[in-house]
Amino acid sequence: MNDRRHRGQHPRDHALFARERHPALRRAVSELSWLLTRGYADNSALKLVGDRHNLTARQRKAVTRNACSDAARDARASRRVALSSLAGQPLAIDGFNLLITVESLLSGGFVFIGRDRAHRDLASVHGTYRMVAETGAAARVIGGWLTTAGVGPVTWYLDRPVSNSGRLRARLLELAAEHGWPWDARLVNNPDQELVRSGGAVSTSDAWILDNCAAWVDLVHVVLHEPASASSPDRPERVWLVDLSEP
C-alpha cells in the first residue's frame, strides 16, 4: 500500500490550540480531573467544563483525553518506567496507538502532554488504517530508540478488525528484517486485553491500558525529550507540543 497522505493537523488546529489558548485548556483539564476524582460521570462532567470554557468539539476531545482522576494519575505514575530500565527486557507495543502518534509528530500534528504526563495526539482509527508518508519513518524512529536502549524482544499488537492491519503488520516485519530488529507483530481481536495480559512493560497512552497494565513506558516522551546519542534517530525539526498537565 502506498498512500502518500500525511497524518498531520486538522485545518483549524493552529487556532484551536494556539499558545494563548493553553491556559484555558489547562484549567479545563484540571477542572474535569477534579470532577472525575469526585465521581462525576465522564460525559456530564465534560459538558459542564466544556460549556464553561466555550470549547469546541475538538478542544473537548483534547481535554477529555488528557484529564484523569487523582487516583488514576498517581497509580499511572507509580507504574511508569524509563526506557533505559528495559534493556534486555521484552516490550509489548500498542501498535496503532504508538505508531499514529509518532506519524502525527513527524507530519506536524499537535501532541499533548496529559495530566498523567503521557504524550497523546488526537488521531484515532475508526475501522480503517491507512499508511501515510511518515509511516516508515515513524517505525524507523521507534526502532532506532528501542535499539539504542537495547530493548527486546518487541511485540506489536494490532487490531485485527481494523482494515489494512495485515498490511501494516507485513510492513513492520519487513522493516524489522531489514534492520535486524527483534520484532514480532500480532493481529488480535482485542489488543487492550492482550497488552494487559502480557504481564510486562507496555508502550501506550491509552487510559484503560495504563490503568490495568503492570508497567508502561512513554516512547513518545523518549523521542521528544531523552538525550540523544550517535545511534539515536534524528528528532523532528518542529514539534507542536501542548502541555496540559498543570493548570
124-144 tens-digit pLDDT: 777 788 888 889 999 999 999
Q: What is the pLDDT of residue 235?
A: 66
Give me 220's grid cell: 513518545
The answer as to whether 41 is a domain residue is: no
**% of residues, the chain, pLDDT over 90:** 80
Give me 72's grid cell: 488514576
The answer as to whether 126 is a domain residue is: yes
> Average pLDDT of 171-183?
97
Asked whether the CA dihedral 66, 187, 129, 221 is positive or negative, the reply is positive
Q: What is the pLDDT of residue 172?
A: 97
Q: What is the pLDDT of residue 225?
A: 85
Range of the domain at 100: 74-243
- The pLDDT tens digits for 202-239 are 999 999 999 999 999 999 999 988 876 656 666 666 78
The answer as to whether 44 is a domain residue is: no
The answer as to whether 31 is a domain residue is: no
Q: What is the pLDDT of residue 67?
A: 98
Q: How far is CA 117 from CA 114, 134, 155, 195, 196, in A?
A: 5, 25, 24, 20, 20
- For residue 3, pLDDT over 50 is answered with no
Neighbours of 16 (CB within 10 A): 20
In terms of pLDDT, which residue wins out, 227 or 108?
A: 108
The answer as to whether 151 is a domain residue is: yes
Average pLDDT, the chain: 92
Q: What is the pLDDT of residue 168?
A: 96
Virtual torsion, Cα 179, 2, 190, 97, nearest 10 deg: 70
- The pLDDT tens digits for 14-73 are 999 999 999 999 999 999 999 999 999 999 999 999 999 999 999 999 999 999 999 999
| 186 confidence band (pLDDT: 50, 70, 90) | very high
CATH of the domain at 221: 3.40.50
The answer as to whether 232 is a domain residue is: yes
> Average pLDDT of 237-245?
88
| 247 confidence band (pLDDT: 50, 70, 90) | low
* Whole-structure pTM value: 0.92
Q: Angle at CA 161, nearest 5°, toward 63 and 181?
A: 85
Closest to 213 (Cα-Cα) out of 187, 245, 183, 191: 191
| 2 confidence band (pLDDT: 50, 70, 90) | very low
- Asked if 122 and 240 count as a contact pair (C-beta separation under 8 A), the reply is no
The answer as to whether 33 is a domain residue is: no
- For residue 107, pLDDT over 50 is answered with yes
The answer as to whether 179 is a domain residue is: yes
Q: What is the pLDDT of residue 238?
A: 76
Count of structural domains within the chain: 1
> Average pLDDT of 95-114?
93
